[in-house]
Amino acid sequence: MDRRESLKALVLGGVGSSLFLSSCVTDKKSPIAAGDIIEEREGYGRTPAEEERDEDLYSETFFSEEEMATISILSDIIIPEDEESVSATEAGVPEFIEFIVKDIPEHQIPMRGGLMWINRESNKRFEAAFNEISKENQMEIIDNMAYPRAFEENSPGPVFFRNMRNLVVTGYFTSEPGFKYLDYRGNTPNVWDGVPAHVLEKHGMKYDEDLLKVAMDPATRNEVMDWNKHEV
């Protein structure tokens, strides 16, 4: 099993986003009133308070350009492009991580501290920042972080890499390319033609013919049934 398949199994096993991120938390200082619900509409359903908070978060910038470059490199090392799907950066994972650390501030110190650590480690080994060293040298550091020896388990590097990997996996498999790779359909309605005839016959039941003409018409599958117009 390759790395991408391992990550896919992790997500499908329920260990991905649900373990690491308890969804995007709402601002405890800005509670949403009971009646503060917008009209239902196709797409992204948010209350006015949530939409306003999202806009505030998107307007802010947490990571520097250099930090974002490092996050992009790490993201593509964890989930690179292959013949089946795009890379993590193409799926928008760095932007997802930027949003998450603003949405859940508890991630800010560990993430920034981890990025500082990886640069110090790179300078110590290769006398250059992580973004400036060769891919081979980058992988040497990553391998030490991803597969640490027992005495390194609690050092900043491996701990940071575990957090980074969880964020990347969460961001990737909640993106459109990630959904496509998992073949995740979500709340896609299926075509249902009612209880099979042999089951109805077995239980001595049958559909009302007039109701069938209205409720089972393929041309009106997406319309809401108006029961006031149907006589039982």
The pLDDT value recorded for residue 218 is: 65
**Cα dihedral: 226, 227, 230, 231 (round 10):** -160
Predicted confidence pLDDT, tens digits, the chain (232 residues): 565 666 656 555 554 444 445 445 545 454 445 444 444 444 457 888 988 999 999 999 999 999 999 999 999 999 999 988 999 999 999 999 999 999 999 999 999 999 999 999 999 999 999 999 999 999 999 999 999 886 676 788 999 999 999 999 999 999 999 999 998 877 776 667 778 889 999 999 988 887 777 777 767 767 776 777 666 5
The pLDDT value recorded for residue 6 is: 60
The pLDDT value recorded for residue 142 is: 94
The pLDDT value recorded for residue 210 is: 78
Domain boundaries, the chain: 3-27+46-182, 197-229
Q: If we measure between CA atoms, which residue out of 104, 229, 90, 106 comes closest to residue 168? A: 90
Rounded Cα distance between 164 and 141, Å, is: 14
The pLDDT value recorded for residue 3 is: 59
Measure CA of the first residue to CA of the last residue in the chain; give whole Å.
57
**Cα dihedral: 24, 28, 31, 32 (round 10):** 0
Specify burial of residue 146 (Cβ count, 10 A radius: 0-12, 13-18, 19+). Answer: middle
Per-residue three-class SS string for 196-207: CHHHHHHCCCCC
The pLDDT value recorded for residue 11 is: 58
The pLDDT value recorded for residue 100 is: 95
The pLDDT value recorded for residue 33 is: 52
Rounded Cα distance between 214 and 121, Å, is: 69
Contact 100, 172 (CB under 8 A): no
Quick one: CA dihedral 207, 209, 211, 214, positive or negative? positive
Quick one: CA dihedral 42, 45, 49, 53, positive or negative? negative
The pLDDT value recorded for residue 155 is: 82
Distance of CA 188 to the CA centre of its chain: 18
Rounded Cα distance between 211 and 101, Å, is: 53
DSSP state letters, 48-111: HHHHHHHHHHHH---S-HHHHHHHHHHHHHHS---SSS--TTTTTHHHHHHHHHHHSGGGHHHH
